[in-house]
Structure 1
């Protein structure tokens, strides 16, 4: 399996300090060993609200870009597994296969191999492959966060505020303007003298 282009961008551009690429690729290899019919895998980080997606590229589709190699209409089954640390869900894994029975009898083995919990497993809960759409949004989400964080720092420095107060000020400005915090951050940052 390989990352969809947006996951590549998010990992390359924004995740340099804590790059989960190797872990994701290893997980993709493990999944394919256990369930060869698996055509895609997504990991959603709960706290960060970010989704990263890998897709399997069929050898016959080797000339087709990865994002087009797996069509939503080829998904016949899905399996969602929570990753739990210290009693709380920190990530969710969503696996997608091209056959209806691909995950039958593999729940425990997949959970064990992926460090996930077998309790909370959901079968066929995402046949629409919605995590792929969320993965497409990851680069923009990360860029928005970066804009907000930089602007919060600038507000704090310019107005002698602590970061929490500066973040609240940015949120209030965004609400008054009727825009997102990221949009307000960009306007404030680029309109500075």
Structure 2
């Protein structure tokens, strides 16, 4: 699997997020998952500490192979071309058609049919979660313990099929923006602390209070303070 562009950018620009290279860790662990669950087409690691999500998805080569299966089995896109008509695809209907079984199992690139979510632990505390997505309905059956070992997760806390829409990918796409906002807030707090002669905790409380009273976000206020500081520095 490969990282989505936003995950690669977030790790490159704002990392590291772990003692070892996070991107290398995700790549290695996604390889382990693929060996265990060949139908796995994506995974997302949500970090409670950094409040961001990192996502890996099937490579273009893997997706191409899945698409190619359609031409061997005659999926709806092939039938539409041959019949010069529009054909809709409904997974439940396809499963009733033995001739389309292969296609139903090969639509992982666009159809997530099963998911598992496990809490990730560190020192006995939950520090995040891992979400995995697969192309077949029973892909993860019997593998919860093994997946938990790969990610240092807690198998008894497994939740199945909670995110068939792969919503964590959309969350992961916001990671660079979210991390940039966090950096801005840290910089703004430093500016306030220096200007007020206070410590960073007091400065952070002041920033939060001012943002709340003004009805703006902490990130918006932080960006404005940084711009003012830059302007004054140029003056």
Question: TM-score w.r.t. structure 1 length?
Answer: 0.90
Structure 1 stretches of 4+ moved >6 Å: none
* Corresponding residue number in structure 2 for 1:13: 13
Unaligned runs of 5+ in 2: 65-107
Give distance in 2, aligned partners of 1:151 and 1:60.
44
| Residue pairs, 1:24-173, within 5 angstroms | 24-59=26-61, 61=63, 73-173=110-210
| CA distance 1:130–1:41, shift in 2 (3 Å) | same
Task: Show CA shifts across 1:57-76 (max 9, x none).
Answer: 242646xxxxxxx75x5110
Aligned to 1:99, the other structure's residue is in SS state coil
Higher helix share: 2
Task: Show CA shifts across 1:124-152 (max 9, x none).
Answer: 11111111111011111100000000010
| CA distance 1:29–1:98, shift in 2 (3 Å) | same
Shift, 1:49, TM fit: 1.3
Unaligned runs of 5+ in 1: 63-69
Give distance in 1, aligned partners of 2:171 and 2:62.
27
The CA RMSD over aligned residues, in Å, is: 1.8
Aligned to 2:165, the other structure's residue is in SS state coil
* Corresponding residue number in structure 2 for 1:65: none
Aligned length: 186
Question: TM-score w.r.t. structure 2 length?
Answer: 0.75
For the pair shown, which has the larger CA radius of gyration, 1 or 2?
A: 2
Shift, 1:17, TM fit: 6.7
